[in-house]
């Protein structure tokens, strides 16, 4: 199967005064798993619908390969799509559902039967071909929708929050299964979700979308470790974000200096410190390893959460930051002073809005 790259160029969609997409540029590489991640109302689903051809953009272009698709009607775009509620045809059997796209193309009866079988085999549900969608479980419907979307060897696969209706365990299982399917077929995939963990688990790259604009496009680890702006820092992971002050060219938190992981001049106005809870280390009295920033406060609470202990520390100015560590070791009594070390390499400082 040949997969194709997708290029979105200065795409804008406005409904009257409301701008849903605001000059979006995005390049998806051939065979890449790209996730559009954003809060609800951010425009991520609208972007997917424009790519699928269901929504006409106000301006801009959608290119698949080197072909301009912007004005091509949806039924001539040759994209597979998995809908949020599966959109299986209730009056057709599983087999008829999967055969539907094949019947619209010039395949012989024997070829259709072969391709339906092959698609059902991919999702390991060959046995269900005579069933009706209402006789399937949520996970089975999900797999059939996936089989239908890839049965006609589309060049691109689009998915609109396909796992949101499933329970947590099944969702995590399907995340791995979908990623595995993508790897086997090597098909360019655009996946929409509002679940950051899902995006981090599945994607080659993630495009974080906020208010109709792309906030950052990066690989999951880069997005998590090196967010480029406060929106991404806040949206991905459980960060504590604290405002910093500038004194004589140095960045200060409650009167203590903070050495950022990047050049301080690059930060601009209104600097903020972004702290990931697992990057902090509890230090013993008098200890300060080289290459760490020191943050001092008072222990407020330590909550056991099964796999880790969530520690809340109150700083001098009343701000509260969270850290996570495997056990209760090194922790003082609640209300007592606690010293925390943050590696300078992990000290992310970003400009405020």
Partner 1 sequence: MTAASYFTGSDEAGSAATLKDDERRERLAIAGLSLPALLLVAVCLIIPVGSLLALSFIGAQGNLSLENYQRLIDNKAYLAIFLTTFEISAVITLICMLLGYPLAYFITLLPPRAVGFAMLAIILPFWTSLLVRTYAWMVLLQKQGLVNSTLLKLGVIDEPIALLHNYAGTVIGMSHIMLPFLVLPLYGAMKAIDHDLIRAAANLGAGPIVRFWTVSFPLSLPGLGAGALIVFVLSLGFYVTPALLGGGKVTMVAMRIQKSVALYPNWGAASALAVVLLVVTALVLLLGLWIWRRNRGNRPVMS
Question: How far is 46 from 194, CA to CA, in rounded Å?
Answer: 13
162 binds partner 1 (CB under 8 A): no
CB of 116 to partner 1, least distance (A): 13
CB of 217 to partner 1, least distance (A): 25
First to last CA, the chain: 45
CB of 240 to partner 1, least distance (A): 40
Q: Pick the closer one to partner 1 by CB: 88 or 233.
A: 88
Q: At what angle do helices 94-103 and 109-122 cross, to 10 degrees?
A: 120
DSSP string, 269-284: SSEEEEE-TTT-EEEP
Task: For residue 64, report the phi and psi dihedrals to the nearest 5 degrees.
Answer: -115, 120
CA 321 to chain centre: 24
Binding map of partner 1 across residues 60-79, x = CB under 8 A, - = no contact: -------------xxxxxxx
Helix (H, G, I), strand (E, B) or coil at 328: coil
Q: Pick the closer one to partner 1 by CB: 107 or 281.
A: 107
Among 54, 197, 268, 304, binds partner 1 (CB under 8 A): 54
* Secondary structure element (H or E) that encloses residue 230, with its range: helix 230-235
Q: Cβ(157)–Cβ(80) under 8 Å? A: yes
Question: How far is 236 from 39, CA to CA, in rounded Å?
Answer: 11
Stretch that binds partner 1, among 132-140, 189-197, 293-301, 322-330 (CB under 8 A): 132-140
Question: How far is 172 from 318, CA to CA, in rounded Å?
Answer: 38
Question: How far is 316 from 235, CA to CA, in rounded Å?
Answer: 26
Among 14, 63, 72, 87, binds partner 1 (CB under 8 A): 87
6 binds partner 1 (CB under 8 A): no
Question: How far is 101 from 95, CA to CA, in rounded Å?
Answer: 11
**Largest Cα–Cα separation, the chain:** 79
Site size for partner 1, by CB under 8 A?
A: 30
Of 107, 26, 100, nearest to 64 by C-alpha is: 26
Q: Pick the closer one to partner 1 by CB: 161 or 218.
A: 161
> Which two three-digit tokens encode residue 188?
């360019």
Q: Pick the closer one to partner 1 by CB: 76 or 168.
A: 76
Distances (CA, A) of 294 to 35, 137, 238, 314, 350: 36, 53, 20, 14, 19
81 binds partner 1 (CB under 8 A): yes
110 contact partners, CB below 8 Å, separation of at least 6: none
| Length reported for the chain | 353
CB of 77 to partner 1, least distance (A): 8
Among 12, 30, 70, 84, binds partner 1 (CB under 8 A): 84
Among 9, 30, 63, 100, binds partner 1 (CB under 8 A): 100
Among 33, 152, 224, 231, binds partner 1 (CB under 8 A): 152
CB of 54 to partner 1, least distance (A): 6
Q: Pick the closer one to partner 1 by CB: 57 or 133.
A: 133
Q: Pick the closer one to partner 1 by CB: 155 or 279.
A: 155
Q: Pick the closer one to partner 1 by CB: 87 or 298.
A: 87
CB of 21 to partner 1, least distance (A): 19
Q: Pick the closer one to partner 1 by CB: 101 or 341.
A: 101
Of 212, 230, 239, nearest to 23 by C-alpha is: 212
CB of 131 to partner 1, least distance (A): 10
163 binds partner 1 (CB under 8 A): no
List residues near partner 1 by CB under 8 A: 52-54, 73-81, 83-85, 87-91, 100-101, 104-105, 132-135, 148, 152
């Amino acid at each position: 199967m040949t997969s194709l790259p997708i290029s979105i160029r200065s795409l804008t969609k406005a409904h009257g005064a409301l701008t849903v997409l605001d000059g979006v540029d995005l390049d998806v590489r051939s065979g890449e798993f790209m996730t559009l991640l954003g809060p609800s109302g951010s425009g991520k689903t609208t972007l997917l619908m424009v790519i699928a051809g269901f929504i006409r953009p106000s301006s801009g272009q959608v290119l698949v390969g080197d072909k301009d698709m912007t004005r091509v009607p949806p039924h001539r775009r040759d994209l597979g799509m998995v809908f949020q509620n599966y959109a299986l045809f209730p009056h057709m059997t599983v087999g008829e559902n999967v055969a539907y796209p094949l019947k619209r193309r010039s395949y012989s009866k024997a070829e259709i039967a072969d391709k339906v079988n092959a698609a059902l085999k991919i999702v390991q549900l060959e046995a269900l071909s005579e069933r009706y969608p209402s006789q399937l479980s949520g996970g089975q419907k999900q797999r059939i929708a996936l089989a239908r979307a890839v049965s006609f060897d589309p060049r691109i696969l689009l998915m609109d929050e396909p796992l949101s209706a499933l329970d947590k365990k099944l969702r995590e299982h399907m995340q791995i299964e979908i990623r595995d399917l993508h790897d086997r077929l090597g098909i360019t995939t655009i996946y929409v979700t509002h679940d950051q963990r899902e995006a981090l688990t599945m994607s080659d790259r993630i495009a974080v979308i906020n208010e109709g604009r792309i906030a950052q496009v990066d690989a999951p680890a880069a997005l998590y470790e090196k967010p480029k702006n406060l929106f991404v820092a806040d949206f991905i992971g459980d960060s504590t974000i604290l405002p910093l002050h500038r004194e004589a060219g140095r960045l200060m938190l409650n009167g203590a200096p903070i050495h950022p992981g990047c050049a301080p001049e690059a930060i601009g106005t209104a600097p903020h410190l972004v702290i990931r809870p697992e990057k902090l280390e509890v230090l013993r009295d008098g200890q300060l390893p080289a290459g760490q920033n020191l943050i001092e406060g008072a222990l407020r609470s330590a909550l056991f959460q099964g796999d880790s202990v969530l520690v809340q520390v109150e700083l001098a100015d009343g701000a509260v930051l969270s850290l996570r560590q495997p056990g209760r070791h090194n922790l003082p009594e609640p209300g007592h002073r606690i010293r925390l070390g943050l590696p300078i390499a992990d000290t992310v400082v970003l400009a405020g809005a």
